[in-house]
Every structure is written in structure tokens, then in C-alpha cells.
Structure 1
């Protein structure tokens, strides 16, 4: 169920990311790599808040700073990884939107796993039993 919630939030975040990417390239005339950097950050801000509340249902306000630091560290890794992959894929795909979509899909599973295990994992209580 967590992965389904993650996917739903990612769809909204991807709307910000991909829609902004197309808009910044067509209206503002930004290059694909620059547009990607700007939109990844904007989508990341939205995704952090949504994943924290909806996906992983973290309610403890005391851990938000640590989670924020870990999430934006992950975003700091994700942005150059996907931008580098985008740059590589632009060599084979003439349309930037196709290359961006492929780069983002390739990074999705990695980002989910790191978010679940390292960013939003809550301390287990002794009565919780084995990990799920």
C-alpha cells in the first residue's frame, strides 16, 4: 500500500516536474538541463511534504528536520543523477521530453527505496514485531 501511495504522490510531483520542464523550455526558452534542475527542485519540495504526511504517514514533528535534511540530501543526489542521465539520453533521443521521461523512470525505484529505508523510516517500537 505504501508503494501505491508513493506512486500517487509521484504522479502529482511529476506533473510539477514534467509540466514545468515543458513550460520552461517552450515559454522561458531554457535549455533542457537547466529546466530539469529547476523543476526537479520544485517537485522535490512538494514531494517531501506529501510523502511525509500521506505516503509514509509520519506525524512526529520532532523528526521533520532530520527527515528534511535526509530528503533534500537525496534530492541533491537525485537531481545530478537524473540530469546526467538526461544529458546521456539526449544523445540518442532527439526530443528532450522522451529523454527526460526515460531518465526519471530509471531513477524512480532507487528513489523510492532510499526514501522508504533511509529518509522516512520511523524508529520501531519493541511491540511492533518483525519488519514489513
Structure 2
């Protein structure tokens, strides 16, 4: 169920990213990179809060520490997505399809990193606590 919630938030964040990108691109002509970074920043802030509270329902860890880890991941994700896009374009001549494919790959990668290292829960699972008690 967590992955489904993650997917819903990512779709909303992607729509926000693209909407901000298109709006800023129309305001700042020929500044696609700046518009892209700003769109990803807006979507990243939106996604962080929704992932923390809705997707992973994380309350056990420091919000500041999670924010630092999340935005560090975002800062790494942007060049990784760009590299995947660049490599894909050397094989395929359809930028939209290649971008979508690289975005999906990055979403899958960032889901697992987010789940394991950013919004991880300190709660013990019932099976784990039984094992810890020697039962």
C-alpha cells in the first residue's frame, strides 16, 4: 500500500513540476533549465511533506534530518535523471518517451531510497519484537 500512496503523490508532484515548468517557461523565455530546476524545487517541497505525512506516515525521526536527506536525494536525482535522458536519447529519437522512461526509473530508485534511508520508521514490527524477546 505504501508504494501505491508513493505513486499517487509522485503523479501529483510530477503534475506540479510540469505545470510550474510550463508556467515559468512562458514567463522567462528561453530559460528552460532555470524553469526545470524551479519546477522540481516546488514539486520537491510538496512531495517531501506529503511523503512524510501521508506516504510513509513518518513521525519517529527528526523532520530536519529527513528534510536534509530528502533534498540531498533530490539534488542527486536531478543529474541522474538528466544522465539517463542523455543516454536514452543516444539510442532513441523520441525525447518524450525517453524522458518518461528515465523519470520512471528515477521514481523507482527514489522510492526505495526514501523508504529505507529518509522516512524509515524506528518502530519494531511484531515479528521482530517477538524475535528480540527470544520467542
Can you list the C-alpha shifts for 1:93-125, whole angstroms capped at 9, x where unaligned?
465x44432321121110100000110001133
SS at match of 2:62: helix
Structure 1 partner of 2:101: 102
Give runs of aligned pairs for residues 63-102 of structure 1, distance below 5 A: 63-90=62-89, 92-93=92-93, 95=95, 97-102=96-101
Separation in 1 of the partners of 2:104 and 2:2?
A: 18
- Paired position in structure 2 for 1:4: 4
Which residues in structure 2 correspond to 1:13-24 (within 5 Å)?
13-24=13-24
TM-score by length of 1: 0.80
The total of aligned residue pairs comes to: 128
* Runs of 5+ unmatched residues, structure 2: 129-135
Residues in 1 aligned to 2:56 and 2:37: alpha-carbon distance in whole angstroms:
26
Q: Which residues of 2 match residues 29-48 of structure 1 at below 5 A?
A: 29-48=29-48
Question: Could you say which structure has the larger radius of gyration?
Answer: 2
Calculate the aligned-residue CA RMSD, in Å.
2.5
TM-score, length-normalised on structure 2?
A: 0.78
Asked whether the 8 Å contact 1:67–1:120 carries over to 2, the reply is yes
Shift of 1:83: 2.4
Residues of 2 paired with 1:25 and 1:94: CA distance? 21
